[in-house]
Structure 1
Amino acid sequence: MTGQRTPLGTAVAEGKGREKLPLRALLALTTAVFLTALTETLPAGVLPAMSGDLGVGESAMGQAVTVYALGTALTAIPLSAATAGWPRKRLLLAAMAGFAVANTVTAVSASYALTMVARGAAGVAAGLAWALLAGYARRMVPVPLQGRAIAVVMTGVPVALSLGVPAGTYLGETFGWRAAFGLMTAVAAGLLVWIAALVPDRPGPGRGGSAPVRATLALPGVRPVLFVTLVYVLAHNVLYTYIAAFLDRHGMGGSTDVALLVFGVTSMLSIWVVGARIDRRLRLLAVGGTVLFAVAVTLLAVGAGSAPLVFVAVGLWGLGWGGAPSLLQTAAADAGGDSADTAQAVLVTLWNVAMAGGGVVGGVLLGAAGTGALAWSVLVLLAPALVAVVAARTHGFPSIRPGVTLPDED
């Protein structure tokens, strides 16, 4: 795998064309992202079984996702500051060990309260992991390869959503939901060995990387990137959280799995494209992704009665969304400069606030105006996001990343 020339696997550094991404190490971080995203979303796939086994209603059991997101949102910034001087490898091992313990407790717990504590602890581990993963990937490679390195690592998100959740749901239905969480413990244990053996250590950013949030927000470009993150992720989750209800309202309830598969496949394609061009086309990719998302929700708003049009719209949505984590984390780190880790921690916090907020806002819209309001509300949210991306042409979303000098073509 490391010997193949692919957009994600081949590096061009300062025109030399000889440096390559350390794929064995980066794929360990990709697996960490996969584990983080899957741990967060798996309860949605096994919710009825969990609620029945623990003796609570499905709405109460659904708070397992909310508690996780809150644990991440509340701890990302303080943990990033408190551990700024820690070696990155030790910190990543601690986060993955936290997942192993939390998922083990979840798998064996017979108490709803204990399960919620374990889910909160998993969220804390996620806050620690998300705040360091992008910066860790950047520190493994020279500047011209940093965008590609982050794109490799962020592949774990769409893989978790498009493959991990369906597979975990199937495992839960076949062998019980506890087996699904037990398998994630096994993945975490194997990942600890992988990281210990093959991932190089890197020093923490120290005092510079743990700059006060206020000082970081004052840096040119940081606030536009964070604003786009909040609005873009909120828009996505308003629709994604209730996509099953949206499709059911338009007579396509039986096609939800197919729609999500289309979304997953196009999201993976988006990651590939972004990984190939992020270092010299960051601005174009950010604008293009936002426009694709806007076109997709417009099609959903006006043509939801046509199944082919819906699948086209979902495909465009995936193309607009899949590369977003890589683009936003790269842009935040570049704008943050010496305070990149603080910028990343704030981004993680806003990301999780937007995820939780998407469910709340979407639920309010669903109850007040029905599914027809979902797509139009997303379009309203995307408008200021597009304006912010276009306006931040010098700092935030520049055409070429700072410090990168690459030829026009590979």
Structure 2
Amino acid sequence: MSSQISDRRSVEGAGAPATTLLPVIALASGTTALVTSEFLPAGVLPTMASDIGVSDGVAGLAIAVTAIAGAVTAPTVALVLPRTSRRTVLVALLAAGAVANLAVSLAPDFAVLLLGRLLLGIALAGFWSFAFGAGTTVLPGRPRVVSTALAFGVSLATALGVPLAALVGNGVGWRAAFAGATAICVLAAVWLACVLPPVPAHPSAGLPMLRRAVGNRRLMAGIGCVGLVAFGNFASYPYIRLAIERVGSQHTTWLLVAWGLGGMAGNVLAGAFAARLRLLAAAAPVLLGAGLLVTAVAGSSSLLAIGIVLWGFAFNMVPVATQLWVSRVEPDSVESAVSLQVTAFQVAITAGAVVGGALLDARGAQFPLLLGAVAALAGGIGFGLLRVPA
């Protein structure tokens, strides 16, 4: 008993509580670097596919294979490293992301490119699984701030990362975009190593915590809803550029920026409404379904812009809402609960990219959007039926 009390105190006193937001901002910069890397193919898909010699649908597997690795990594990384300092792990994962991007930028063929993307999936899922717990350890009592900051990192990646990748890809080449992502991951790793205090693992981290989380039926039902919503988005998002160009290509880059800017607004609004978690978790997927539907049927640039902005706004509410939802439903096993949320996202990204790519090649850019709208709406209904503990 005394050893358990000692372990608990060592976790609660991991370094001193943060007196500034710098550690959390540094964690958010890591999510920005890795999520930018994950979705770079969406910004350079046509040129990358042409250069490597595969179809656009097959090139979408560059996102799917990253998600496959992430789906396996998220629930198991804590089992492999149950006692390793979370600061050490987080910095190492950012370094792995840099190596992965470098491999892609130099890839001579599609097989090597996929290997690089596989390593990126390990880095991304591991980072996401540990970042929230590390953030709430160094900034105790403020989970909403930590979740909003990490999700804002995702929004920043989609607002700037993918559009910049499109600009760099069009101007210099898609390989240069991945080389730039390599540098960003290195910088994020160095910054995190400098400002994040030591974060020991929780005493029950690993298999005991995972078993407790998996045994929570309400949590697992919510994880299923997370998977539906994420599938709805990622059946469509790898092909967002093609969906835009179906209506007109003259404003492609700016509409990608608009998607991300809408996402930033959604991210901030989700944090503001986090107290009404059940409503937030249900409303975000419903709005996502509406945004996907409008984008699918748009026949003009103005209607397309409305659909794109609503899509970005709604989807970027989802990471904040669902991360807070799982941590509320399973407060004693947050690290494992978040890892299951990450797994749901990664499985959905894999399935979405594969199914969306098949629909894209067979029926055109509208059909992945329509499928995504149905899945997102189903996930929203599911969240509406699940109660959240006070």
TM-score by length of 2: 0.85
Structure 1 segments, 4+ long, off by >6 Å, are none
Pick one of 87, 90, 95 that aligns with 2:88.
90
CA change 1:293–1:174 in 2 (3 A) is closer
- Structure 1 match to 2:291: 296
Once the two structures are superposed, what CA deviation does each residue of 1:70-96 show, in whole Å capped at 9, x if it has no partner? 221222211122223222101111111
Aligned to 1:68: 66
Partner-residue secondary structure (3-state), 2:198: coil
Q: 1:109 to 1:318 in 2, by over 3 A?
A: closer
Match of 2:131 in 1: 133
Describe the SS at the equivalent of 1:75. helix
Quick one: percent identity of the two aligned structures?
28
RMSD: 2.8
CA distance in 1, matches of 2:238, 2:45: 14
Choose the corresponding residue for 2:346, options 345, 349, 352. 352
* 1:112 to partner: Cα distance: 4.6
Aligned partners of 2:282 and 2:382 also within 8 Å = no
Shift of 1:271: 1.0
1:274 paired with 2:270, answer yes
Aligned counterpart, 2:38: 40
Displacement of 1:386 in angstroms is 2.2
CA shift in 2, pair 1:99/1:392, >3 Å = same
Structure 2 match to 1:118: 116
Question: Over residues 30-52 of structure 1, what are the superposed CA-to-partner deviations in whole Å (9 max), with x where a residue is unaligned?
Answer: 11101111111223434455556
- Residue 319 (structure 1) aligns with: 313
2:215: which partner in 1? Answer: 218
Structure 1 residue 61: deviation in Å? Answer: 4.9
User: In the superposition, relative to structure 1, how do residues 263 and 103 fare at CA in structure 2: closer, same or farther (>3 Å)?
Assistant: closer
Q: Secondary structure at the match of 1:155?
A: helix
AA at the equivalent of 1:314: I
**How far 1:369 moved relative to its partner?**
5.3
Instruction: After TM superposition, give the deviation of residue 229 of structure 1 in Å.
Output: 0.9
Q: Which runs of 5+ in 2 are unaligned?
A: 1-16
CA shift, 1:178, in A, is 3.6
Query: Residue type matched to 1:296 in 2?
Result: G
Q: Distance in 2 between matches of 1:77 and 1:334?
A: 19
Q: Summarize the Cα distance change of 1:294–1:50 in structure 2 as closer, same or farther, 3 Å threshold.
A: closer
Which amino acid in 1 is paired with 2:282?
V
- Residue equivalent to 2:238: 241
Distance, in Å, in 2 between the alignment partners of 1:203 and 1:149 is: 18
CA distance in 2, matches of 1:367, 1:179: 27
CA 317–21 in structure 1, closer or farther in 2 if over 3 Å, else same = farther
1:361-400 map, 5 Å: 361-366=355-360, 370-395=364-389
Instruction: Please say if residues 278 and 388 of structure 2, whose CA atoms lie closer than 8 Å, have aligned partners that are also in contact.
Output: no
1:150 aligns with 147
The alpha-carbon distance between structure 1 residues 66 and 316, as it changes in their structure 2 partners (threshold 3 A), is closer
1:196 is matched with 193
Q: Conserved in 2, the CA contact under 8 Å of 1:210 and 1:342?
A: no
Residue 209 of structure 1 and its aligned partner are, at CA, apart by: 5.4
Structure 2 equivalent of residue 407 of structure 1: none
Change (3 A) 1:178 1:377: closer
Q: 2:256 matched to 1:260?
A: yes
For residues 102 and 378 of structure 1, the distance between their equivalents in structure 2, rounded to whole angstroms, comes to: 29
Structure 1 counterpart of 2:203, one-letter code: G
Deviation at 1:221, TM superposition (A): 2.9
User: Residue 283 of structure 1 corresponds to which residue in structure 2?
Assistant: 278
1 CA distance for matches of 2:308 and 2:46?
A: 27
Classify the secondary structure of the residue corresponding to 1:57. coil
Partner secondary structure for residue 181 of structure 1: helix
Indicate how the Cα distance of structure 1 residues 192 and 111 shifts in structure 2: closer, same or farther if over 3 A, else same: same
2:330 paired with 1:336: yes
Shift of the 120–372 alpha-carbon distance from structure 1 to 2, 3 Å rule, reads closer
Structure 1 residue matching 2:235: 3-state secondary structure? helix
Q: Does the 8 Å CA contact 2:289/2:374 hold for their aligned counterparts? A: no
For residues 231-282 of structure 1, what are the alpha-carbon distances to aligned partners after superposition, in whole Å with 9 as ceiling and x for unaligned? 0111112232334444444x3344443432322111111111122332x222
Of 375-384 and 230-239, deviating more is 375-384
Q: Shift of the alpha carbon at 1:69? A: 1.9
Label 1:104 to 1:283 Cα distance change in 2 as closer, same or farther (>3 A): same
**CA distance in structure 2 between the aligned counterparts of 1:351 and 1:192, rounded to whole angstroms:** 24
Which residue identity is paired with 1:198? V
CA distance in 1, matches of 2:77, 2:44: 30
Contact 1:209 1:341 in 2 (8 A): no
Q: Measured at CA, do residues 108 and 378 of structure 1 come closer, stay the same or move farther in structure 2, by a change above 3 Å?
A: closer
Selected match of 1:170 from 167, 173, 177: 167
| Aligned-partner Cα distance in 2 for 1:242–1:113 | 21
Relative to structure 2, which stretch is displaced further, 146-155 or 56-65?
56-65
Residue 223 to residue 367, structure 1, CA distance change in 2 (3 Å):
same
Which TM-score applies when normalising by structure 1? Answer: 0.81
CA distance in 2, matches of 1:157, 1:182: 20
Q: Deviations over 1:93-135 (max 9, x none)?
A: 1111212222233334445544432222222122211211122
What is the CA-CA distance between 1:289 and the residue it aligns to?
Answer: 1.7
Shift of 1:328: 0.9
